[in-house]
Amino acid sequence: MRLKTNFKYIVFSIILLAAQFGFSQSKITGKVLDTDNTAIEGATIIVENQEHQKKGTTSGSDGAFNIKVKSSGTYNLKITFVGYETYSKELTIADNQHIELNEIILKEAAELLQSVEVIGRKRQDYNSDYSFSASKIAIKNKELPQAVTTVTKELISDRQAFQLVDAVKTVSNVSATGLYNHYNIRGITQADDGQVVNGMRTRQYYFLQPITSNLERVEVIKGPSSVTFSSADPGGTVNMVTKKPLDEKRSEVSVATGSYGTLRATVDFTGPLNESKTLLYRFNAAYQDADSFRDVVNNNAILISPSFSYVPDENTSLNVEMIYNNAEGNLDRGQPIFGAINGEYSINSTPITMNVGASNDHYKTKELTFMASFNKKFTENFGFNAQYMKQTWDEDLAEHRVGGSMVDIDGNVIPTLVRLRYDERQQFWETDNFSTYVTYDIKKDNITNKILVGYDATRWERKIGAGFLRARRYLTVSGGQSNFDASNPDNFQQMTINGVTTPVPAAAYFDLENPFNGARDTSDYSLSQLSIPANLNTSDGIYLQNQFKIGKLSALVNLRYEWFKDVFNYEGDEEEFKTSAFVPRIGLTYEINDKLSVYSTYLEGFQPHTNTVSLSPTAEGFFWAASPARFDPLESTLNEVGLKGEFLNGKVFANLAFFEINQKNILMGDTYDLDNLTTRGKQRSRGFEMDFSGYVLPNFQITASYGYTDAKIIEDAIEEFIGERIGGAPKHNANLWGRYDFTTETLKGIGLGFGAQYVDERYTWYNPTYATDRVLLPEYAICDAAVYYKPNNAGIQLTLKVNNLFNDTYWLGGLNPSRLGPGAPRNFLLNATYKF
């Protein structure tokens, strides 16, 4: 009985304490306005106590907010909204106290542009209002006389775009050419397989799909950008900008799972390392273990990327960072289809899951990149900047791929069989980049003059020891390998397949009607041993840039002189070739008013053929035989006019551009008759594009784009291609993505995302003279959708993303009939992100 009575007292005491705790809440109220006394809806209000416990809300349509706190103490109140300066205030709160802050005025943000990017971007929306890569130094996009489209980390996160190809699909006139990190931009298919990171060139094969978790943004700089990047593709350059440290503490952990056995995890920590906030850090890491809808294809990767910034004062800054990327999986060479029947190919003759690879194939790459940047401002007008990058990249490949159609003993093609080719390949690359420049600013009344003089140096080396073992073509009776000669069938070993006599392939064959993807015994293959000669490539450039502004008119003028050296069979029987080029740019911008500006620009570009040897069909024969640097480099020009707009206090950006790109000196002739190739090839692309992004409502953010190109082959070694569309170039493409967050009390914390992409029909793009068949891939329109759930004040967000919502069958692109790149069927991804 006594125990029962004591129990009652205990229960009563707990209830009493709970009631007291519940009723001893304090509250903070106020109203958020701009400088015009207009209510700001959707501003984020956070209060944090000394134990780092946070509580938050958003302002309503009238700008009002109300936050309740359960305990007394000292709190820090912070109010943020895109395009405005952060408001902070320290509050001391007693029990049951009501603090009325009345009207809080947020001022428009005027973000200080850094001359070198050593501190991260604080905006947290779909826009970045400046770029470093297009002109070496920071320049506001609305003042840049060139189209630059930015994909920010916020857009990447909302779309769950874990790899680069998923991130750039929202950009106008950018379309994937297949399954790799390779694009057609403004109608011109990329020929350079290197990547640009923080404005500096790396060197690795385009098969890689870079992970985006360490990226602050991805910039697509339209047109040839040789004036800043040296060798550059005519259509445009994709620049990956890594996350930099912030001077405020932010932490984020994310885990995800989804279709095809996908498991992912990422972390992102940043903040100051000392009280004075002169030493900052950032640490990013990512892990992926994923299979694919494609047979025997997987993609596993680990990324680790620490970064440190030292900013002792406003005139000095230093940043160092490292990227370690280790990937292991299979190299997906694409979907093969039946050989042409009556001259026609059927892309539906095989399932989109089909892959000729074997389960014991592998593709392993290891990349290590170190970067450092330094900035010193000696006076208000004079500054010095320097950057350095060191990259090593190793490749280890074992793969089965289509080598060609199987033929019978009379030389007739068997449409349902393909001859396999087997390669074991290893390569080792090392790249160094150095860039330094000085700046001098002149300001007088309404005239500004920013002068830049600099020097760039790039050195990449394919190191000694690269080589491969290969089995391809057919076996001769003497044990050699050769293309089949139907006039001399007795010179070839023979076998019988389904009652049909055929020559024996050096590797194996693949039956498209009865596929086999198990482990293949390669010990019986007739392997040829081939070395890949070492190659040294150096490029040096000096350049002058002047950005001046008189009133509303500004101009950007550049002149670059580049000298280039290629040493084939480096440290062996060397062949050395040299070339040089002057590269100009002139652009004008006129500010019509505070919101609109009109611009025009003329650009030139160049690409030494050594940088296109992996992707240019006609340069294929040079890979291990000689240096294509003996030919004049590819040359290109851009004429562009456009209109740029910035609306709703910088929350919305828009761009409209009209352009024409011409490129010449494309190699022509028999791919393997190296002595008879000429540089007479020409291509031309003209069109227009529109990009729009930003907050159209405080709780509704959108990005949309449309592009049109008329991309023509002007001169080509394959006569039937002349006047036809450039391979990989759709005439139309359009993209849309939007996120809407509910603000009503019943649905608060829930958001919806929806996206759509349309890509017009386009041809496969890889056509050396010995394989001229092109496949016209059909147009496609696919939709994606997402649901977000963010419990109030919890710091966590759950995202369910559905890709290819209506389960359409489509093809991203393709190289040729044996290497099509199908898109994935409907698939799901569930992500949980916790910020603290």
CA-nearest of 243, 285, 293 to 265 is 285
Q: Where are the beta strands (DSSP E) in 314-356?
A: 316-329
pLDDT at 114: 52
Q: Which SS3 state, helix, strand or coil, does residue 23 take?
A: helix
Residue range 255-279, pLDDT digits in tens:
999 999 999 999 999 999 999 999 9
pLDDT at 700 over 80: yes
Q: Could you give the percent of the chain with pLDDT greater than 70?
A: 95
Give pLDDT tens digits for 20-64: 444 457 889 999 988 878 788 778 888 888 777 777 787 877 888
The pLDDT-based confidence of 86 (bands split at 50, 70, 90) is: confident
Confidence of residue 137 (pLDDT cuts 50, 70, 90): confident
| Range scoring the smallest mean pLDDT among 185-189, 718-722, 827-831 | 718-722
Using alpha carbons, select from 31, 98, 102 the residue that is nearest to residue 65: 31
Structure tokens at 824: 């994935």
pLDDT for 71 equals 78
The answer to whether 779 and 40 have CB atoms below 8 angstroms apart is: no
User: pTM to 2 decimals?
Assistant: 0.87
Task: Report CA-CA distances (Å) from 183 to 176, 216, 813.
Answer: 5, 21, 10
What pLDDT was estimated at residue 50? 78
For residue 248, what pLDDT is reported?
A: 85
pLDDT tens digits for range 654-689: 999 999 999 999 888 777 777 777 887 899 999 999
User: How far lies 153's CA from each of 108, 115, 121, 392, 724, in Å?
Assistant: 23, 21, 10, 26, 38
Question: pLDDT digit string (tens) for 534-550?
Answer: 999 999 999 999 998 99
Exposure b/e, 757-789, CB count within 10 A at least 16 = b: bebbebbbbbbbbebeebbebeebebebebebe
Task: Say what the pLDDT of residue 12 is.
Answer: 43
Tell me: pLDDT of 762 over 80: yes
Question: pLDDT tens across 396-440, in order?
Answer: 999 999 998 899 999 999 999 999 999 999 999 999 999 999 999
Q: What's the number of CA atoms in the CB half-sphere (13 Å) around residue 561?
A: 3
DSSP 8-state class, residue 60:
-
Asked if 609 and 631 touch (Cβ cutoff 8 Å), the reply is yes
pLDDT score of 808 more than 90? yes
